[in-house]
């Protein structure tokens, strides 16, 4: 295989460095499937890895990029053969295992899922880890027994990747979606995705009371910190909030009041190590239930060479919706 092009993070005495360069295929890590990567994406965690702002990269040198779609080149795994179209999200790829911002990846076949029927490789990465996490969040709310008949659903970080797909998925399922955003200029975009109301995120950002007026029955929170605390404080009795992100912060300055006085539930979402059965169920549901025109409307394309400059952009909250990285 020789060499291939890749973004590579190195650790130096001055900190972390990032370069787009040739990578020797002999230096790929162990795995039973080698994939020709055709598409990747940009997620918040990729921003952390590209910039080194948070220590998500645990091995150097590292090829960042936590998700990809592509075509199997070689396989010793019983389920995959050359030519198969596959998708990967999570499992520490781009953190502890060489990742997706490269023309080749070698991974464990057990981490892959077949490209879901009805999606192209590009659409799968337009969804990517962020969209897949939005679906896991909706599934958690449904498993809790919540339906649109229980009341509105709030989505925080709504203009971001998880948020945009969450708005679209909830609206498609009939929810009255309240989209919380710091970008008033994106109100039209969010309404086009299906949001019924826009809430200025400043209303949720500052420390609030342990309990507030009951405003929504369900929530998908990509933000954490005081925002999540306020979302919980304003959740209706027996409602639930799926917590998946930390764009505002990792802290959660709340009290037990929403839990013991209103029976509110906090549902944790971890997309990285989701078991295979649930993973495939989420992807099949995304292929069947996400409107592909709506997905296209939230997606921007960049080439692999451009991805290096986008880490700072996503951490600054300046990236709208989803970004597909074209590798092939």
By Cβ distance, which residue is nearest to ligand NDP?
160
Exposure string over 237-267, b if 16+ CB within 10 A, otherwise e: eebbbbbbbbbbeeeeebeeebeeebebbbb
In degrees, rounded to 5, the angle at the alpha carbon of residue 313 between the alpha carbons of residues 43 and 134 is 30
Q: For the CB of residue 273, give the shortest distance to ligand NDP in the complex, in Å.
A: 9
Encoded one letter per residue, x for contact with ligand NDP by CB under 6 A and - for no contact, window 127-166 reads --xx--x-----------------------xxxxxxx---
Number of residues lying near ligand NDP (CB under 6 A): 33
Judged by CB under 6 A, the chain residues 211 through 270 that form the site for ligand NDP are 222-223, 227, 244-248, 269-270
Residue closer to ligand NDP, measured from CB, 29 or 205: 205
Q: Looking at residue 97, what DSSP letter applies?
A: B
Strands (E), the chain: 3-12, 15-24, 33-41, 67-75, 85-89, 104-107, 113-114, 153-155, 177-181, 197-200, 216-221, 235-243, 265-268, 299-303, 322-326
Residue closer to ligand NDP, measured from CB, 133 or 254: 133
- Is the distance from CB of 30 to CB of 41 less than 8 angstroms? no
Residue closer to ligand NDP, measured from CB, 196 or 205: 205
Judged by CB under 6 A, the chain residues 62 through 91 that form the site for ligand NDP are none
Applying CB under 6 A, among 34, 38, 43, 75 the residue interacting with ligand NDP is 43
In sequence order, the β-bridge partners of residue 41 are 324
Judged by CB under 6 A, the chain residues 179 through 198 that form the site for ligand NDP are 181-183
- The torsion angles phi and psi of 62, rounded to 5 degrees, stand at -130, 135
Tokens of 241: 């909030």
Report the alpha-carbon distance of residue 40 to residue 31 in Å, rounded: 19
Residue closer to ligand NDP, measured from CB, 37 or 135: 135
Q: Does 299 bind ligand NDP (CB under 6 A)?
A: no
Q: Could you tell me whether strands 235-243 and 265-268 are parallel, antiparallel, or unpaired per DSSP bridges? A: parallel
Q: For the CB of residue 271, give the shortest distance to ligand NDP in the complex, in Å.
A: 3
Helix (H) / strand (E) containing 175:
none
Residue closer to ligand NDP, measured from CB, 163 or 194: 163
Q: Does 201 bind ligand NDP (CB under 6 A)?
A: yes
Q: Contact positions toward ligand NDP, by CB under 6 A?
A: 43-45, 129-130, 133, 157-163, 181-183, 201, 205, 222-223, 227, 244-248, 269-272, 314, 317, 319
């Amino acid at each position: 295989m020789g060499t291939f092009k890749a973004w590579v993070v190195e650790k130096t005495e001055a900190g972390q460095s990032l370069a787009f360069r040739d990578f020797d295929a002999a230096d790929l890590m162990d795995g039973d499937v080698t994939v020709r990567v055709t598409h990747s994406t940009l997620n918040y965690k990729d921003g952390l890895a590209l910039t080194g702002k948070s220590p998500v990269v645990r091995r150097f040198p590292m090829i960042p990029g936590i998700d990809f779609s592509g075509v199997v080149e070689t396989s010793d795994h019983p389920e995959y053969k050359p030519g198969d179209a596959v998708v990967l999200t999570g499992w520490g790829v781009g953190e502890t295992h060489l990742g997706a911002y490269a023309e080749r990846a070698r991974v464990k076949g057990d981490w892959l899922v077949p490209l879901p029927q009805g999606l192209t490789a590009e659409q799968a990465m337009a969804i990517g880890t962020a969209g897949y996490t939005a679906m896991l969040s909706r599934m958690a709310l449904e498993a809790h027994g919540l339906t649109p008949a229980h009341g509105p659903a709030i989505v925080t970080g709504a203009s971001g990747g998880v948020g945009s797909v969450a708005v679209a998925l909830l609206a498609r399922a009939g929810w009255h979606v309240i989209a919380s955003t710091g970008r008033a200029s994106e109100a039209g975009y969010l309404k086009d995705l299906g949001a019924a109301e826009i809430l200025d995120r400043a209303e949720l950002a500052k420390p609030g009371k342990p309990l507030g007026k009951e405003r929504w029955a369900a929530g998908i929170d990509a933000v954490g910190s005081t925002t999540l605390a306020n979302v919980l404080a304003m959740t209706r009795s027996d409602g639930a909030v799926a917590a998946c992100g930390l764009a505002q912060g990792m802290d959660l300055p709340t009290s037990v009041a929403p839990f013991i006085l209103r029976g509110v539930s906090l549902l944790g979402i971890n997309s990285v190590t989701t078991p295979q059965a649930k993973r495939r169920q989420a992807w099949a549901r995304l292929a069947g239930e996400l409107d592909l025109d709506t997905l296209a409307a939230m997606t921007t394309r960049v080439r692999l060479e451009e991805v290096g400059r986008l880490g700072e952009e996503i951490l600054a909250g300046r990236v709208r919706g989803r970004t597909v990285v074209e590798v092939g």
